[in-house]
Amino acid sequence: MNDSNLSASDRIFLHRSLEATIRIGLLIIITVWCFKIVEPFITPIIWGGIIAIAAHPLYSRLRTALGERHKLAATVFTFVFLIILIVPTVLLTETLIDGLKMLAEKIKDGSLSIPPPPENLHNLMIIGEPLAKFWLLASENIHSALQQLTPVLKVIGSWLLSAATGAGIAILHFVIAIIIAGILLANSSSSNRTARSITRRLADEKGADYADLAEATIRSVANGILGVALIQSLLAGLGFMVAGVPAAGLWALLCLILSIAQIGIAPILIPVIIYLFYTADTFTAMAFLIWSIPLSLIDNILKPILLGRGVKTPMAIIFIGAIGGLLSSGVIGLFIGAVILSLGYELFFLWLNTDSSSE
């Protein structure tokens, strides 16, 4: 009697275990399949969400000005942001291509002229003497100087090629992300309810706190770090274009990278200023110098204004996130990496402090 009952219990247990295994297996298969389908769009979706959260206050004011017309406000927002993205990108890309073509043609026909080095350049510590010798060689025989730099130029050339490819993909991701942000903003009420439902599901009563911190962190880093970097790089690129600096788009991209990484754009502006004083007329060089001084200091004014209150992510976290994002996901990883790592840092310490206080 007991044996038959035990066998029946075993059969029920095995039946339920098998049924649960099949259900879990099917759920895993569907989840992995869905992930594979949306994998190419994950980066634009994340970036679109970041843009939507960061730009929501601006969108709210625009929606109020348009008489609470959600779809119209989202459409205007999308078109304006696409214009802001596409127009400077096209202009800077054209200057980059034209500058590289001009440089290649001058090197090929031997018409590239480099002025002799300054007389006091060799007085610089450590690098002064070798730099002065190489500069003098380049001014006298550019082909011999380039032959010495062949290994370095190969590395730089391959990096520039991959960077150009990554920049093209990043621009496409930006366009898709802006469209996604417009859709999210047009449905901001339902998007907000969905996000808070997910956080409550994951963290129970603390879900609202996590959602508020996530929103504040994303808005803080996106506006205070990424927004300032975009403003600086675009203004620097405009200055490069007006001053006639070759490959202005490349220097603007480097300014963007250094600004997000919290290094600043001075390492790019200083060599350009020196270059203009040697190659351009005095008025152009002085005008660019005057333009560069407040431009290199503008982040000290804008960051305190744009950074959100109560969110003080260390600069080291933003730096690691920006550089790690750049290495893993290309140019767009600069933006997403800084935001996501900052968000993870803030959420981790909120969870850690909450756990400690509960004890």
CA distances from 325 to 50, 320, 349 (A): 15, 8, 22
More confident residue, 73 or 141: 73
- Mean pLDDT of all residues in 1-16: 66
pTM, full prediction: 0.61
Range of 108-122, 150-164, 288-302 with top mean pLDDT = 288-302
More confident residue, 297 or 331: 297
- Mean pLDDT of all residues in 159-174: 66
pLDDT, tens digit, for every residue of 179-191?
888 888 888 777 7
| pLDDT band, very low/low/confident/very high, at 63 (cuts 50, 70, 90) | confident
Q: What is the pLDDT of residue 102?
A: 66
Which DSSP category does 112 fall into? -
Q: How many CB atoms lie within 10 A of CB 263?
A: 13
Q: Is 265 helix (H, G, I), strand (E, B) or coil?
A: coil
Which DSSP category does 280 fall into? S
Q: Which residues contact 315 (CB under 8 A, 6 or more apart)?
A: 262
Alpha-carbon torsion (317, 311, 233, 239), positive or negative: negative
Task: Please state, rounded to an integer, the average pLDDT across all residues of the chain.
Answer: 76
More confident residue, 333 or 284: 284
Is it the case that residue 357 has pLDDT exceeding 60? no
Q: What is the largest CA-CA distance in the chain?
A: 107
| pLDDT band, very low/low/confident/very high, at 275 (cuts 50, 70, 90) | confident
From its phi and psi, is residue 314 left (phi > 0), alpha (psi between -120 and 50) or beta? beta
Alpha-carbon torsion (327, 328, 332, 337), positive or negative: negative
Per-position b or e across 112-148, b if 16+ CB within 10 A of its CB = beeeebeeebbeeeeeeeeebeebbebeeebeebeee
Q: What is the pLDDT of residue 1?
A: 45
Alpha helices in 187-281 (DSSP H): 188-203, 207-221, 228-243, 248-260, 266-279
Q: What is the pLDDT of residue 128?
A: 67
Q: Would you call 254 exposed, middle or buried from its count of C-beta atoms within 10 A (0-12, 13-18, 19+)?
A: middle
- Mean pLDDT of all residues in 65-92: 79
pLDDT, tens digit, for every residue of 197-241?
877 777 667 767 777 777 777 777 777 777 788 888 888 888 888
Q: Which residues contact 18 (CB under 8 A, 6 or more apart)?
A: none
Pairwise CA distance, residues 294 & 299, whole Å: 9
- The percent of residues in the chain predicted with pLDDT above 70, rounded, is 72
| Cα dihedral 347→349→354→359 (10° resolution) | 150
Which DSSP category does 226 fall into? I
Q: What is the pLDDT of residue 32?
A: 92
More confident residue, 169 or 320: 320
Which of 7-11, 13-17, 292-296 has the weakest average pLDDT?
A: 7-11
- Which tokens belong to 38? 């949306």
Q: What is the pLDDT of residue 308?
A: 53
Is it the case that residue 3 has pLDDT exceeding 60? no
Q: What is the pLDDT of residue 26?
A: 92
Q: What is the pLDDT of residue 214?
A: 76
More confident residue, 308 or 13: 13
- Mean pLDDT of all residues in 37-45: 83
Pairwise CA distance, residues 149 & 135, whole Å: 12
pLDDT, tens digit, for every residue of 153-164?
666 666 666 655
More confident residue, 54 or 357: 54
More confident residue, 301 or 75: 75
- Mean pLDDT of all residues in 93-118: 64
Pairwise CA distance, residues 111 & 63, whole Å: 57
- Mean pLDDT of all residues in 78-103: 70
Q: What is the pLDDT of residue 112?
A: 62
Which DSSP category does 309 fall into? T
Phi, psi of 222 (to 5 degrees): -65, -45
Is it the case that residue 23 has pLDDT exceeding 50? yes
Phi, psi of 120 (to 5 degrees): -95, 10
Q: What is the pLDDT of residue 54?
A: 80
| pLDDT band, very low/low/confident/very high, at 30 (cuts 50, 70, 90) | very high
